[in-house]
Amino acid sequence: MANTPDFKYAPMFQMGKDDTEYYLLTKEGVSVSEFEGKPILKVSPEALTRLANQAFRDVNFLLRRSHNEQVAKILSDPEASDNDKYVALTFLRN
Residue 3's pLDDT is what? 85
Residue 45's pLDDT is what? 98
- Residue 41: phi and psi, rounded to 5, are -95, 125
Count other C-beta atoms under 10 Å from residue 71's C-beta: 14
Domain residue extents for the chain: 28-62, 63-94
- The one-character DSSP state at 78 is T
Cα gap 90→62, rounded to integer Å:
14
Q: Are 57 and 40 in contact (CB under 8 A)?
A: no
Q: Is the pTM value of this prediction over 0.75?
A: no
Q: Are 61 and 94 in contact (CB under 8 A)?
A: yes
Residue 62's pLDDT is what? 77
94 residues of the chain, pLDDT tens digit each? 578 889 999 888 888 898 888 899 999 999 999 999 999 999 999 999 999 999 998 887 777 778 888 989 999 999 999 999 999 988 888 7
